[in-house]
Amino acid sequence: MATAGKSQKATAYPWLSDYPDHVSWDMELRPQALPEMFDEAISSFSERPCTTFLGKTVTYGELGALTERIAAGLHANGVREGAKVGLLLPNCPYFIAFYFAALKLGCVVVNFNPLYADDELEFQTRDSSTELMITLDLKVLFEKAAHLVECGALSRVVACPFAELLPGVKSMLFRLLKRKDTAKPQTSRIAHALLDYQELSTATGEYPRPTIDPKKDLAVLQYTGGTTGTPKGAMLTHANLTSNLQQVSNWFPQIVEGQERIVGILPFFHVFAMTGIMNFGLSKGFEMLLMPRFELDEAIKLIRERRPTILPGVPTLFNALMINEGVSAADLSSLKYCISGGAPLPLEVRRGFEKKAECSLVEGYGLSETSPVATTNPIGGKIKENSIGQPMPGTVVSIRSLEDPSVEVPLGEDGEVCIFGPQVMQGYWNKPDETAAVFIGEYLRTGDVGYMDEDGFIFLVDRIKDIIICSGFNVYPRHIEDAIYEFPPVEEVTVVGIPHDYRGEAPKAFIKLKPGETASEEELLAFLKPKLSPIEMPEVIEFRDELPKTMVGKLSKKELREL
C-alpha cells in the first residue's frame, strides 16, 4: 500500500492534541523479520522461564534449541521456502516452536481453529494451499487432521505427543489413564502421511536461512471469522506483525523486560493473542502462563498461584471475574495491566472490574486485517468512557461517509472507521475483488460505524452489518446492549435484528442473568424506558441459561441470527 499521511501535516490529526506523554505518534517503527525478533529474545533471556504449561516450565534457551532442531528436521523432510504450514493446536509450547521454525525456513504460517468442523477445516486447507499440518496426538484433533488427508486436501501431518508437554508424574499418569483419548498416529490409516515428531525434534545439521524482506514476504495467513460470508485469509507480512508488536510494546510504560508474567488464556490461533500475548511476550522476555482452553475455575487458580502481572482477555472474561464471589481483590492484586479486546467492552463491566481488581482495564480495538491492534486507550492517562482510544503510533484513522466512503465526515459525526498504518494487511489471499472492495484508496474499510471527537478519541457505534433498520432508521444494537447491562440482574446480553411486519426489522435481546437473580420482561422494559427511544426498545426479550460464544470467548451474534 502507498504511504499515508505524507501529503498531510501531522498537526491535522486530532489525536496529537492529547496524545500520551510517554509515546510519540510519529516514532520510528523498524520493520523486522519475525525470526530475527525471536532469536534476539532467545539470546537475551535464555535462562528465563518462557512458558509454563500445566505445571511444566520451559526456558527461552530450551524453546530456542527445540525450534532450531525442528527447523532442521522440517528442512530435511523437504519443507521449503514459501510452503504453507498449518497449526491446528491449542496454546502450548509446540505452537511457538513450530510457528517460528516454519518462519525460519521462509514458510507461511496458517492458523486453524481447533474447534472448526471438518468442512470448515477442509475449506481453509484447500483455500490456503496448506501442505503440512501440525497438531497433537489427541484423538479429537488428530482425527480432524486425518480427515483432511483422506479427503485429499492435505498431504502431510505432524502429530506432536501431548504427554511430553506435561511434567514427570502428570506425563506418566496421562499415558496410563488417558490412553483412550490418545491416537496412535504411527499405526493409523494416515501413517503414510506422517512426519515423525521425535525425528523432527532431535534433528541436527544446518538448514538454509532465506533472506526475508519484511515488507514484502508473508508471515501468516490469518483467516477471518467468516461472519459475513466465506472466510478470507488476511495476508500479514513480517513487517505488519513486527510493526504492530513495536506499536503495542511502546504503548505500555513500566514494562520490565524479563520480569513480567502474562496469562495466555486467549488462543494463539486468534490474531489478538498471536500478537498481544505470544509475540509481545517473547519480545520482552515475559513468562507466558498458557492454558490449552478457557476454564474459569482453572483460570482463577492460575492467577492466584502464579501471580501474573498482565492479563489480556475479552469482555466476558473480565465480567466473569468481576461477578465471581470467590475472586477477591487480593487474588487480582498482582496485575499491572489488563487489556480487553475482541469485542466491545461494556461500561458497567469496565467499572465493576476496575473497582474489584484495583487495576486499570484498558480497551483496545483491531481486526485480523490490522495484525490486529489499531487503537488503544492511554495507559495511566485520560480515558473516555466507551471509547476504543486513540490511533496507535504511525496509524491514521479516518471516519468516512456511510453513503460515500471517499468522503471524510466532520468530527463527532458517525461514519465508517477506516484505517491506514504499517500493520494493515496486504490484502486477502487469492481474492483480488474482495481486496479491492475492502480498501478505499490506501485506507482499510473496517465495516464498523463510529465517530471521532476533538481529541482524536474514537467511539464505536456498531458494526455496519449489525445495524438494525427500523422503519428506515438506524438502530445500533450496542447502544441497546449498554443500556441493558446497567440493569443489575443482567450478566450477559446480545441484541440482534429480527424480521418485523410493520417496521422491517426490530431488536431482539438475548439475556443471561447473574446466578441467583430473577427478572421479568416487564421489569426490564420499565428499567429501559427512560434510557431508550421507543424504536430502540426490544421487541422480544429471551432469557437464556447460556449465550453462544466464539472460541475466543466473545459473545456470538452469528448463531443467534441463524435462529
What pLDDT, on a 0 to 100 scale, did the predictor assign at position 509? 97
Strand stretches in 471-548, DSSP E? 473-475, 490-500, 504-513, 540-543
Sheet holding 233-237, edge to edge: 194-195, 156-160, 132-136, 84-87, 108-111, 218-223, 233-237
Whole-angstrom distance, CA of residue 419 vs CA of residue 442: 8
Is 70 exceeded by the pLDDT of residue 6?
no
Q: How far is residue 532's CA from residue 518's CA, in Å, rounded to a whole number?
A: 22
What pLDDT shows up at residue 229? 53
Q: Identify the bridge partners of residue 238 per DSSP, sorted by sequence position.
A: none
Degrees, nearest 5: CA angle 61-279-384: 140
Q: Work out the percent of the chain whose per-residue pLDDT is above 90.
A: 79
Q: How far is CA 328 from CA 47, 126, 322, in A?
A: 33, 48, 9
Alpha carbon distance 419, 366 (integer Å): 10
pLDDT tens digits for 81-92? 999 999 999 999
Where b means 16+ CB within 10 Å and e means fewer, 201-214 reads bebeeebeebebeb
CB 355 within 8 A of CB 379: no
Closest CA to 267 of 69, 32, 551: 551
Q: Which three cell numbers stand for residue 223?
A: 483467516
Q: Rounded to an integer, what distance in angstroms lies between the CA atom of residue 319 and that of residue 336?
A: 18
Which of 52-56, 281-285, 329-333, 469-473 is the least confident region?
469-473
According to the model, what pLDDT value does residue 472 have? 67
The 10s digit of each residue's pLDDT in 400-445 is 999 999 999 999 999 999 999 999 999 999 999 999 999 999 999 9
Average pLDDT, the chain: 92
Lookup: cell for 113: 481453529
Length of the chain: 563
**CA distances (Å), origin 511, targets 45, 495, 514, 542:** 47, 9, 10, 6
The three three-digit cell numbers of residue 378, written as one number: 492511554
pLDDT band, residue 343 (cuts 50/70/90) = confident
Cα 363 from Cα 312, distance rounded (Å): 10
Please give the grid coordinates belonging to residue 324.
465471581
How is domain 1-27+391-466 classified at the architecture level of CATH? Answer: Roll (2.30)
Residue 459 β-bridge partners: 451
- Give CA separation, 418 vs 251, 375, 408, 443, in Å: 21, 12, 10, 6
Euclidean distance between CA atoms 511 and 272, whole angstroms: 26
Pick the CATH number of 467-562 from 3.30.479.10, 3.40.50.12780, 3.30.300.30, 3.30.365.10: 3.30.300.30
Q: Is the pLDDT of residue 226 over 60?
A: no
Q: Provide the CB-side half-sphere exposure for 182 (13 A, CA).
A: 16
What is the pLDDT confidence band of residue 5, given thresholds at 50, 70 and 90? Answer: very low
CA 145 to chain centre: 23
Given a cut of 90, is residue 8 above it in pLDDT? no
Q: Which tens digits make up the pLDDT trace of 227-260?
A: 345 689 999 999 999 999 999 999 988 899 999 9
Listed in order, strand segments (DSSP E) in 91-215 are 108-111, 132-136, 156-160, 194-195
Measured from the Cβ of residue 43, the count of other Cβ atoms closer than 10 Å reads 11
Average pLDDT over residues 195-199: 97
More confident residue, 409 or 8: 409
Spatial separation of the C-alpha atoms in residues 242 and 497, rounded to whole Å: 39
Q: Are 395 and 366 in contact (CB under 8 A)?
A: no
Residues 264 and 278: their CA atoms lie apart, in Å, by 8
What's residue 383's pLDDT? Answer: 83
- Grade residue 294 by pLDDT with cuts at 50, 70 and 90: confident
Span 159-167, average pLDDT = 97
pLDDT over threshold 70, residue 3:
no
What pLDDT band is residue 43 in, cutting at 50, 70 and 90?
A: very high
- Per-residue model confidence as pLDDT tens digits over 491-511: 999 999 998 877 778 999 999
User: Any idea which architecture 60-221 has in CATH?
Assistant: 3-Layer(aba) Sandwich (3.40)
Task: Name beta bridge partners: 158.
Answer: 134, 195
Alpha-carbon Rg for the chain, nearest whole angstrom, is 24
What is the rounded distance in angstroms from the CA atom of residue 548 to the CA atom of residue 542? 13
- DSSP one-letter code for 91: S
Sequence-distant (≥ 6) Cβ neighbours of residue 84 within 8 angstroms: 107, 108, 110, 128, 129, 130, 131, 132, 221
Q: Is the pLDDT of residue 115 over 60?
A: yes
DSSP letter string over 1-55?
-PPTTTTS-GGG-GGGGG--TT--TT-------HHHHHHHHHHHTTTSEEEEETT
Is residue 123 within 8 Å of residue 223, measured between CB atoms?
Answer: no
- Written as one letter, the residue type at 81 is E
| pLDDT beyond 80 at 552 | no
Domain boundaries, the chain: 1-27+391-466, 60-221, 467-562
> Between these two residues, 237 and 554, which has the higher pLDDT value?
237
